[in-house]
Structure 1
Amino acid sequence: MAKRRVLITEYVMSCYREDDYAYYDLLPEALAMVKSLEETLTNVGIDVYITVSRHLKETMSLFKNTVSINPFDCVNELGKFASEFDNVIAIAPPRELMIIADIFKERLIQQPPNLVKELSSKYGVVKYLENCGVKVPKTIMVSAGNLREGAIDIPFKVPFVVKPALLAGSECVYVIRGGHYSINRILTIVNEVIKCDPSGNAVLQEYVDGIHGSVSVVYGANGPSFYSLNLQLISIENDRLSFLGGILPVRDYEVVYETRELVNTVYRCFPSIRGYVGFDVVWNDAGIYVVEMNMRPTTSIVGIVQLYPEFGKYLIDERGGSLIYLGDVAPETAYYLVLDRNVGIKASNTKTIGISNAGKRVVVGKEKSMKDVYRIIKPLLSNLAYDLEQIIK
């Protein structure tokens, strides 16, 4: 019997142009996700192929099978391969993911195209989740037209977050804190974010004080099959929010149980949801709040595969329905850090993923406990959005 052929296409790796330095520091994260997907799917007997820009030939040797992509028409070129693979896993910003979903349709091991469109906007998805009974922060969306008319009515006090409606990651994300911001400064920041967003919209969201994390879930036709609650290492400095990495899984089982309820609630609300979904969350004494929902594999997959190499069997299982938690099948704790190229780390059980001349690299490791991880990474962290030491204790 022929092996099942799966294509993995990641936007930055596929669309990188040699003169596009803005993408260069994003490549290590992209490589880390794709390499992890390749490893875990290969472990469960899948024949994996990776799309790579012709301008990234140096990365092709990292993978067993690659498909060369013209970076000047990278998304549309994927249509040439629509019939060559049994399935496709796509990692892309929301706007591009909508196009890719339309190209591959039922071959995509993710959401159907209609659900990708419904849940891609950072504003729209919060409203959908709120209607499902999920805790979410107060959220509004504004455009350049609102700014011209002076029609921004913000229904919450500082601090609050300003972010693009259709961009991935922490690009162009600001945090408005304290009383030292004039209205003109706030409007300037909002206008900068609007210019950054492909749809010309900025999302303003109440900042929830608490522990920043993410939830990684795999959904099948009969329900969710796998989930993990992860700590996110988020820094706030000079109005900007930055992603530094993560630690997983969380073993506070009171919060893990509430996470399980969230995972099941989303399935009941969206029974056609499929594949890997990532939620950005914040939790405190009032419960878990979902601040974003990502309809694609997220960076946490790097840590998941580090702990549980067989994770790929859940990605390709279309049925689902028998739910397990990562912390119940993996006794150790993983971490991944997005570090400046010249920053060292004092640990032996690690691997580094990077590319020559990039200013960033990803370091992945695992230890026996979260305390052991904290001891290693503590010197590398500053300006975190919450007190990590209190959680470790």
Structure 2
Amino acid sequence: MKIMVAEYAVGKGGGKLVAEGKAMLTTLKNGFYELGHEVIYPEAVTDFGVAVDKLSKESDAGVVIAPDDMLCEFTKLLESNTVNLGCSSDSVKICADKKQTIKVLSEGGIQVPRIVSKEEVASEQRYVKKPRYGCASENVFIQKGKDICPTPDHIITEFIDGEDISSSVIIGKFSVLPLTINKQFIRVDGERLRYGGGLVPYSVEQEAESEIMRMSEKVVTLLHCEGYVGIDFILGDDGSAHVVEVNPRPTTSIVGIAKVLNYNVADLILRAKFGSLPMPNEVKTEGSFIFELS
């Protein structure tokens, strides 16, 4: 099988996310190689969309990794030409819209940070300001109410204190397979949040682990996700978890997961689309892996 893996930062040939992009691309590429498949991918191209369109026509299946606000467009190109190994463009469209995601999850009974209107903002209270459409921790700020300048392309949510963690899951036709819970290294640079890597897997209390995995399964069901998905949480000291982001694509955690999991992650992605996934009790990790960004 010929498989296209189109990673945006590598495809464009640079940018501040190129280290993460190259690591994810290499992980998936090597995983598919191990299974005997051919892998093609765009690299340093002028027009990423044109490259996705061309290469997907030459492929039997493919997956796109791109900033959430662009991912829907590229996923539609992929879907028009070959088998999409990831979330559908309809699912991606919802996940990319943070306001809509919060609405769908809240109505489905998932704990999420509440969106705050500008009229509700209190001067000395801390809030999170993030782009309505955007990628992970890019341009996310923690600010006091008096310092917030509301804009139409941002949302303001309540600030939830706790640990930054994520879950990684794979969604097949008939089941959802939890992979790992991961620690995210998020630092505060002034008011801005910056992602610095992570630890895979990350151990939490058994009760919290069960709750995070239960929530993860419900989240991907509500959003009609497929393939590999990463879900970002804030885990409070009391064990309560809030979903703060849903990434409808492979995330940086896949790099560590591939190192510690007793299954080839690329194989699981293919099985999610074309076959059946193993039972959760068959999936195990050994050791840990830290991925740090400079």
TM-score by length of 1: 0.68
Instruction: Map Cα deviations across residues 299-326 of structure 1 (whole Å, 9 max, x no partner).
Output: 1011111213612211111244544279
The residue aligned with 1:114 is 90
The residue aligned with 1:338 is 293
Asked if structure 2 preserves the Cα contact closer than 8 Å seen for 1:224 and 1:322, the reply is no
Please give the alpha-carbon distance, in whole angstroms, between the structure 2 residues aligned to 1:77 and 1:48: 14
SS in 2 for 1:336: strand
2:133 aligned to 162, 166, 169, which one? 166
The residue aligned with 1:210 is 162
SS in 2 for 1:154: coil
* Identity level (%): 24
2:258 aligned to 305, 329, 332, which one? 305
Equivalent position amino acid for 2:248 in 1: M
Residues 275-294 of structure 1 aligned to structure 2 (within 5 Å): 275-284=227-236, 285-294=238-247
SS in 2 for 1:215: strand
Q: CA shift at 1:155, angstroms? A: 5.8
Gaps of 5+ in 1: 17-22, 54-68, 142-151, 192-199, 340-393
Equivalent position amino acid for 1:337 in 2: E
Asked if structure 2 preserves the Cα contact closer than 8 Å seen for 1:220 and 1:273, the reply is no
Work out which of the two has the higher radius of gyration on C-alpha atoms and give 1 or 2. Answer: 1
The residue aligned with 2:142 is 175
Residues 6-25 of structure 1 aligned to structure 2 (within 5 Å): 6-16=3-13, 23-25=14-16
Equivalent position amino acid for 1:336 in 2: F
1:130 aligned to 95, 99, 106, which one? 106
Q: 1:171 and 1:251, CA in 2 relative to 1: closer, same or farther beyond 3 A?
A: closer
Q: 1:153 and 1:45, CA in 2 relative to 1: closer, same or farther beyond 3 A?
A: farther
The residue aligned with 2:200 is 248
SS in 2 for 1:31: helix
Q: CA shift at 1:107, angstroms? A: 1.6
Please give the alpha-carbon distance, in whole angstroms, between the structure 2 residues aligned to 1:266 and 1:171: 22
Equivalent position amino acid for 2:232 in 1: D
Q: CA shift at 1:97, angstroms? A: 0.8
Please give the alpha-carbon distance, in whole angstroms, between the structure 2 residues aligned to 1:140 and 1:276: 31
The residue aligned with 1:40 is 31
Q: 1:98 and 1:331, CA in 2 relative to 1: closer, same or farther beyond 3 A?
A: same
The residue aligned with 1:153 is 119
TM-score by length of 2: 0.89
The residue aligned with 2:50 is 76
Gaps of 5+ in 2: none
Equivalent position amino acid for 1:118 in 2: I
